[in-house]
Amino acid sequence: MTDIVEVTRQKVKVLARSLDAESISRIPTSRNLVVIVDRKFAKEVNAHRWFANIPQPDHIYAVADIEGKRISLQRFIMLLAHPGKTDNENKHISFKNKLSFDCRLQNLLEIVGRQSVMRNRKPKRNTSSQYKGVTKKRRTNGATFWRGQIKGALGTMSLGSFDDEKLAARVYDAAAFLLFDGSGYYNFPNQPPDLEALEIAGFRISRFQSFQARKAQST
C-alpha cells in the first residue's frame, strides 16, 4: 500500500506542475494525498471529506460517504457534469491517463459494462503466457508459437500468430490502444505502441470489422 500511495503522490505532483494552476484545484484526501479536479467543481467537491481508498494493492481511488452511500470522486464529478444522469448510469468510469487521482473531467472516460472490465483487466495468473491477450500454442511439428487476441465492442478478434511472445504482447497493446482510445491494461505500460505492432493490429482490426459488417448485411 505504501508503494501505490507514494507513486500516486509523485504522479500528481508532476501532473499538477504541467497544468494551468488557475483551471484546477487540489482536493485533500486521507493518506496525505491530494486529488486534482477542475476548479469549477471545487466548491461541491470540498463540501465532502474524501478518503484514499485502496481496494487492491495496485488500485487507489478517492471516495466519500455522501447521503449514506459511498461514491468515488470520478463518479461524483460525472454527476456534477451531467446532473440529468442517475448514479447507476455512471458506474463505469475510467481514466485516460491511467491516473486515478486526476479527476479532471477531460481525463474521465465513460465506458459500459463488461467492456470496462475487459479493457482494464490484468492477465490471468494461470495463463500459458505472462502477457495479457497472448496464449501459448504448439504446431503439428511440436514447435511453440504464440497466438494473440483481444475483445472489443464487436467481439473477440484474432491478432495473429507469432514466433515471438513479446511481439504478440506488443500487438495486443497496439490493438488496445487503437480500440480503446488509449485506455486499457497494457503489457508494456511505459512504452508507446511501435510501428510494426500498430500496422499488424490495424490490419487485423480492419479485417475483423469488415467481416462483421458483411456478416450483419447478410442477416
For residues 11 and 95, state if they share a domain. yes
Query: Is 38 in the same domain as 103?
Result: yes
Asked whether residue 70 falls in the same domain as residue 129, the answer is no
Provide the pLDDT for residue 100.
Answer: 93
Residue 38 reports pLDDT greater than 80: yes
* pLDDT for residue 82 is more than 90: no
Is it the case that residue 117 has pLDDT exceeding 80? no
Q: Do 102 and 34 lie in a common domain?
A: yes
User: Do residues 127 and 104 both lie within one domain?
Assistant: no
- Does 116 map to a domain? no
Q: How far apart are CA 79 and CA 88, in angstroms?
A: 10
- Parent domain of 159: 121-218
Each residue's pLDDT tens digit, 6-33: 999 999 999 999 999 999 999 999 999 9
Q: Are residues 6 and 98 in the same domain?
A: yes
What is the pTM assigned to this prediction? 0.53
Q: CA distances (Å), 178 to each of 145, 192, 199, 211, in order?
A: 24, 12, 11, 18
CATH of the domain at 135: 3.30.730.10
- Give the residue, 111 or 218, on which the prediction is more confident: 218
Among the three residues 77, 110, 143, which one is the final residue of a domain in this structure?
110
On whether both 77 and 130 belong to a single domain, the answer is no
Q: How many CB atoms lie within 10 A of CB 198?
A: 18
Q: Given pLDDT bands bounded at 50, 70 and 90, which one contains residue 182? A: low
Residue 71 pairs in a beta bridge with 64
Phi, psi of 93, deg, nearest 5? -120, 130
Domain identity same for 132 and 99: no
In the chain, the number of structural domains is: 2
Between 62 and 87, the higher pLDDT residue: 62
164's grid cell: 515471438
Is residue 100 domain-shared with residue 140, that is, in the same domain? no
Using a pLDDT cut of 90, give the percent of the chain over it: 53
Task: Flag whether 115 is in a domain.
Answer: no
Q: Are residues 94 and 139 in the same domain?
A: no
129-147 pLDDT, tens digit per residue, is 889 999 999 999 999 999 9
Average pLDDT of span 73-92: 76
Within this chain, do residues 214 and 182 fall inside the same structural domain, yes or no?
yes
59 pLDDT higher than 90: no
Q: Which of these ranges, 62-66, 163-167, 192-196, has the smallest mean pLDDT? A: 192-196
72-93 mean pLDDT: 77
**What pLDDT is recorded for position 124?**
53
Residue 113 confidence (pLDDT): 45
